[in-house]
Structure 1
Amino acid sequence: MTPPTTILLPTTTHSPVIEEIATQLDPSDELLIICDDESDPVADYGEGVQNVQVVVAGEPTGCSGKANALATGMDKATHDRIVWTDDDFHHPSDWLAAFHEAYDEKGPVSELYFFVGSDVLSTLLEPIYAIGGTLGTYANNKPWGGAVMFERDDLDWESFLRNLQRTVSDDQLLSEYLDTTTLKRIRQVEIGGTIRETLERHVRFTQIIHQHNPRDTIVMGLITSLLALFCLLSPVYAGVCVTLLAAGLYAYFGIYRWTALLSYPAIILQVPLMIYALSRNTFVWGGRRYRWRSKFKVEIIT
């Protein structure tokens, strides 16, 4: 028998994911839909719906909107077992039950993402996100904030909540507090929209690594530069090698997309994109512009 569980879903819209999760709840579970403001479209959802409640987080101060929403939800949670999830991927009918089964066997667990591009730039960068994101997260057992299950006693709850409310990246901070097992269970997440949005997202991804693990930024930059140099000096051999590497990685995670063929130009493009991302001092996420001065010093500009 699974324990009562609180599921935290930050969203401002009437996402179909709400219904996908609500139908999986046990009578003792609760789904907290966390929005920013009472004017958000989803703010009136849950009136009279059993086990579903809308929580208004308010405007963030000194942290990202996502971090603020999750901190508010964790403060409101009434159960010890907690699930974080997002509204941008499909939750199959056995999603929550499979999560409980995995937790009971392994302790804190996280699923895995694969970013699917929806504009020219995000599509081109799919192999980069697969190698650096999907593979890196899986190999290092990092939690993904889009699908992670843990309990209160699994981390220093109070300290984590304090720090969550003064930073940007919810899951990167969680990885510093929580030892997880990352399951080889892929959720495809569509990203992009416009080239501008993809650039802003790439800046955020790069800044997350830079602010939390500055040494990793150096290592990542060195490896990326060497790979790009290899591609430029030996285009035929390098093109075959990196394409086969990407195709093998895709197949390992059960992803069969033609974008593995883009690994060669993506690796070359990653060098100027990384320089661009590190040179930027602001980025836009969820309609807000942030200046992230250090890990726990976040300024919201608009």
Structure 2
Amino acid sequence: MAPPTTVLLPTTTQSSAIEEIATQLTPSDELLVICDRETDSVADYGDEFRNVRVVVAGEPTGCSGKANAIATGMEEATHDRLVWTDDDFHHPPNWLAALHEAYDRKGPVSELYFFVGSDPLSILLEPIYAIGGTLGTYATDKAWGGAVMFERDDLDWESFLRDLRRTVSDDGLLSEYLDTTSLKRVHPVEIGGTIRQTIERHVRFTQIVRQHNPWDTVVVGFVTSLLALFCLFVPLYAGIGTTLLATGVYAYFGVRRWTVLLAYPAIILQVPLMVYALTRRTFVWGGRRYRWHSKFDVEIVT
């Protein structure tokens, strides 16, 4: 039998994810729904499930709202085994039990995302996120904050919480503190909404890599530039090659999306987008604008 578990769900709205997770809890488990303010709609969440509790994190200072919410949730957690998750994907009925089973066999574990675009730019970038994001996360066993399970003793608890309250990326930092095994379980996560939102998200993704893995930024930039040149100077072979590459990645993770055909233009577009993202001084996330000076130097502009 799995030990009592605390599930952390940062959200400001009364999403369906709350009920999806709550119905999977045992009587000894708890779900902490963490919002920013008492005025957030989820703050009035009822007591339909007795082991669901709303926690108000308050305004962040020197870190992102997500990092502040996770840090607050970890401080409020009753149990030693923890799960982080998000409200932007479906949690199937066996989701929590499957994480427990995997943890008992492998130790700290994390599942995977597949970003599904909802505006023209995020749709175009799907192959990039599949190759660099889904495949990259799986190949390097990075933690994804949407579905990760670990225990207190698996990391330096106090140091992690201290650093979490002075940075932007919760799972970027977690990957530095925690050795996880990536499970080949993929959750579709809808992103985008508007082109502006997609650009801001792309800037954040790029700067997370830059702050936590600067050498990876160099390698990715070099490889992407070579691929883009290949696409421009040998378009026929490059078009076939990049499409086959993306097709293989999609198939490996069991994803069927017509966007696999966009790999060729996506790779070309990635070069100017990466340059733009690396030169941007600020980005918007969750209604706040951040200036990320260094890994542990975060300024909230608005």
Alignment TM-score, normalising by the size of structure 2: 0.99
State the distance in 1 between where 2:126 and 2:172 align. 20
Name which of structure 1's ranges 46-55 and 210-219 shifts more when overlaid on structure 2.
Answer: 46-55
Q: Which moved more, 1:105-114 or 1:206-215?
A: 206-215
* Equivalent residue number for residue 246 of structure 1: 246
1:69 is aligned to 69
C-alpha contact (below 8 Å) 1:46/1:53 kept by paired residues: no
Equivalent residue number for residue 194 of structure 2: 194
**Alpha-carbon distance in structure 1 between the residues aligned to 2:48 and 2:205:** 39
1:37 counterpart residue number: 37
2:131 counterpart residue number: 131
Residue 57 of structure 1 corresponds to: 57
- Residue type of the alignment partner of 2:35: C
Question: Does the 8 Å contact 1:46/1:52 carry over to 2?
Answer: no
- After TM superposition, give the deviation of residue 212 of structure 1 in Å: 1.1
Aligned to 1:102: 102
* Paired AA for residue 223 in structure 2: I
Whether the aligned pair in 2 keeps the contact of 1:32 and 1:52 (CA below 8 Å) is: yes
Residue number in structure 2 paired with 1:275: 275
What is the rounded CA distance, in whole Å, between the counterparts of 1:143 and 1:293 in structure 2? 23
Within 2, Cα distance between the matches of 1:7 and 1:203?
29
Per-residue CA deviations over 1:89-117 (Å, capped at 9, x if unaligned) read: 00000000001000001000000000000
* CA contact 2:62–2:300 (8 Å) conserved in 1: yes
| Aligned partner letter, 1:260 | V
> Which residue is 2:17 aligned to?
17
CA contact (8 A) 1:46 1:54 kept: no
Corresponding residue of 1:300: 300
Q: What residue ranges of structure 2 are gaps of 5+ in the alignment? A: none
For 1:16 and 1:92, locate their aligned partners in 2 and report how far apart those are by CA, in whole Å: 12
Q: 5+ residue gaps in structure 1?
A: none
Contact 1:116–1:189 under 8 Å retained in 2:
yes
SS of aligned partner of 1:62: coil
Cα drift, residue 47 of structure 1: 3.3
Aligned to 2:149: 149
State, as a whole percentage, how many aligned pairs show the same letter. Answer: 79
How many residues align structurally? 302
Whether the 8 Å CA contact 2:22–2:49 is kept in 1: the answer is no
TM-score by length of 1: 0.99
Match of 2:121 in 1: 121
SS at match of 1:115: strand
How far off is 1:291 after superposition? 0.2
Alignment correspondent of 1:161: 161
Q: What is the deviation of 1:49?
A: 3.0
Moved beyond 2 Å, runs of 4+: 46-49
